Structure 1
């Protein structure tokens, strides 16, 4: 067995095994660091994206006057079958109540045709 390891192929096998071991001693920690930095980069990118979205949303809070998100106006109705309302930014803040005492009914007017001969 000792003689087979001293052959050219045995020595080549030992040298290759040694090279692989030495290379893994250097490459493995670098590979681990690479993975760590890639994970950190991914996390920082996600945080940056979320902060950018937050910045966009917060820009609306800086608006003043009628453009302010706090000046939003809303019209509501208890029964949208009978009345509807819309609001613009220029509307003043107030409350109105509409009472419907009777709904309109459709009527048909019936009349007799008259001509000049009937008028005499």
Structure 2
């Protein structure tokens, strides 16, 4: 059986994420039930200008953000850095992070999480 999901055709949900600024649009492409490994999810997110995935901290997992389009600012613990299309960001266990779209366009990303 082939598992194919197209994030460009997916139905998006609009809501606030981790008490961030404004709302984001997102969809869950795969959940942990789809995997035989420790991958917890693969999500697609669209962050409008002046909106964010709020600062939050993970426990025993790693979370990866792949910036598909746009740019913004990623805060990891106490450090802020610019991110842009093509960047892949790794958040290690127990790190806190936030992604803010401070640009004029939509920031689009694929996000996935893997348990330790």
Q: TM-score, normalised by structure 1?
A: 0.18
Relative contact order higher in (CA < 8 Å, ≥ 6 apart): 2
Q: Which has the higher helix share?
A: 1
Task: Give the number of the structure whose alpha-carbon radius of gyration is greater.
Answer: 1
Q: TM-score, normalised by structure 2?
A: 0.19
Q: Which has the higher strand share?
A: 2
